Amino acid sequence: MKLASLIAAAACLLVPLTGHAGVVYQWRPLDGNPPLDFALKLEFTRQAVDSGSFSFQLPYMDSAPSYPELGLVAFQYAFPGMGMPMDYRPQEQQFRSGLGMLDMELRFEAGGYLSGWIHANDQNSHIMLQSSGALFTVLDANSDEGMEGAGCGWTTGLPCSGATGFLQGVQQQNGQAVPEPRTLALFGLGILGLFGSRRLRRAVAS
């Protein structure tokens, strides 16, 4: 393998050092109650997770462009057939209408789970969840678009409530820890070192 290729491979391994540094939690359903097949993802800074708890209040009609110091990297929610998913990133972008609401009181539990409650509304769709321990239940969800794809909503006459599940850290889903960035960096440097030693042996042999 050429040196340029090895350098490129090592550079790819070093990307986590400056790229995706947050801790991600995703919805894992336990039953077939509505709303069905929705996606919910929250990303926090490592400092927020290490603190053990998290509180966030973005009230209605608050158009402040950013809340960079509060530890929330991203909040994302979508259901089947949703025209534009809810995507709020305090340091980068507001809710799509510019005026949404997000209210959360959470704890980071052992085993990589969240507990607490969440209420989000982007002026088009909303969802409310609350947990008993680490087990969350959807108290209410709906959308101006209708939620037929989720098996409920105002167009169906069926309430979007009752779904239970966990908000689980992505790195715990398959029982394997995400490699630490410094481990990846050392691995990348090791590749370059191996290449260098091979070049040296070839030079001595010739």
Residue 140 has pLDDT above 70, yes or no: yes
Does the model's pTM come out above 0.75? no
146-176 as b/e, with b when 16 or more CB fall inside 10 Å? ebebbbbbeeeeebbbebebbbbbeeeeeee
Residues 70-114: tens digit of each pLDDT: 799 999 999 999 988 999 888 777 777 667 889 999 999 999 999
- Confirm if 82 and 143 have CB atoms less than 8 A apart: yes
Q: How many CB atoms lie within 10 A of CB 31?
A: 11
Task: Note whether residue 196 is domain-resident.
Answer: no
In sequence order, the 6+-apart residues with CB closer than 8 A to the CB of 158 are 34, 151, 152
Task: Note whether residue 1 is domain-resident.
Answer: no
Task: Note whether residue 185 is domain-resident.
Answer: no
Q: How confident is the model at residue 202 (pLDDT cuts 50, 70, 90)?
A: very low
Residues 7-61: tens digit of each pLDDT: 343 333 333 333 456 899 999 999 999 999 999 999 999 999 999 999 998 876 5
Task: Note whether residue 151 is domain-resident.
Answer: yes
Q: What is the mean predicted confidence (pLDDT) over 133-158?
A: 96
27 lies in which domain range?
A: 22-179
**The residue to which tokens 């996606």 are assigned:** 39
**The residue to which tokens 């990589």 are assigned:** 112
Amino acid at 140: D
